[in-house]
Structure 1
Amino acid sequence: MSRLPLVEAERLVDAIKAKGARLAVPGIVDLSELAEASSGVAKVVLQGVQDMLLRVALQIARDDFEDRRERQRQGIDLAKSAGLYRGRKPNAKVHEQIIALKGGG
């Protein structure tokens, strides 16, 4: 889920909840059991806080993923400028399979 944009991650969470499952995030307080035992305003507030904590966790995970990708890109750019990065070597066997699957051309 950390690789998904926040909107898509929230859609996934909503789909999980719609099926009756609960999503537990390690390191995040789970208030869902307390919310189920509560009633009225307390229940609404606890559910809102739980949803907010989940969204914060999703956003932090996404930000971390984007930071790592950016650092990786910077490292690759540095290696390219130093002439040390060459990328993946071509795989002739896979290339031949692709041509064969495409019908020869």
Structure 2
Amino acid sequence: MYIRAYLRASTEDQDASRARDQLTGFAKDQSRNIASYYMENVSGAKTERPELRRLLNDAQPGDVLLVEAIDRLSRLPREDWKQLRAEIEIKGLRVVAVDLPTSHQGMKDTTGDEFTARMLDAINGMMLDMMAAIARKDYEDRRHRQAQGIVKAKEQGIYKGRPKDAAKRKKIAELLADGKTVRKVADYIKCSTSTVQDVKKNGI
């Protein structure tokens, strides 16, 4: 059993490694060591997450996917969450979230105890679905409030939009000029392809 920690932050100005010490301490409290860390800055509402994909590719049956909270793993809509959860199940991974006590038993080795393993999987699966639904609702509620705020700011003539990161856009432009593809630039800079496309079309 390998413990694979997944750390995610939504935007590039946030620290994806913020919870690393917390996850490391949690694993040690369970008499376990974390084998590898996977960190990225990308929205949990997106399915295209390179580091999560790398984790799933690396994982072996019986490994643990450790997260700070379920919303670090998913803020996906229902169908996308079902697909991700199916991939996790096919890989034979157990999801353990520090903020979900019912999942902590997943850190224990249940080899040879099929009944306990199946009971844990059933309970954890139900709780994961509930927490994933709550995380998605929280995401949608925040987006709705943000949209309302933007409308109000526009009505008052004070909306300026998100400031552009000039340094990042300059680097994107340099990589594009060097012949790199949009996808390669996005992966290297760790930004969305839409940002790269915007620089390509509109410049810095």
TM-score range, shorter chain: 0.5 to 0.7
Please tell me the residue identity of whatever aligns with 2:99: G
SS in 2 for 1:23: strand
The answer for unaligned runs of 5 or more in structure 2 is 1-43, 45-73, 164-172, 174-196
Counterparts of 1:19 and 1:67, CA distance in 2: 32
Offset at 1:10? 2.1
1:98 maps to 2:172 = no
The answer for unaligned runs of 5 or more in structure 1 is 100-105
- Other-structure match for 1:17: 89
Offset at 1:23? 1.6
How big is the alpha-carbon RMSD for the aligned residues of Structure 1 and Structure 2? 3.4
Asked which structure has the greater RCO (Cα within 8 Å, sep 6+), the reply is: 1
Instruction: Name the structure where helix makes up a greater proportion of residues.
Output: 1
Q: Is contact 1:3-1:62 (8 Å) kept? A: yes
Q: Which has the larger radius of gyration?
A: 1
Instruction: Name the structure where strand makes up a greater proportion of residues.
Output: 2
Offset at 1:98? 2.6
Please tell me the residue identity of whatever aligns with 1:12: L
Q: Is contact 1:3-1:65 (8 Å) kept? A: yes
TM-score scaled by structure 2?
A: 0.39
Please tell me the residue identity of whatever aligns with 2:92: G
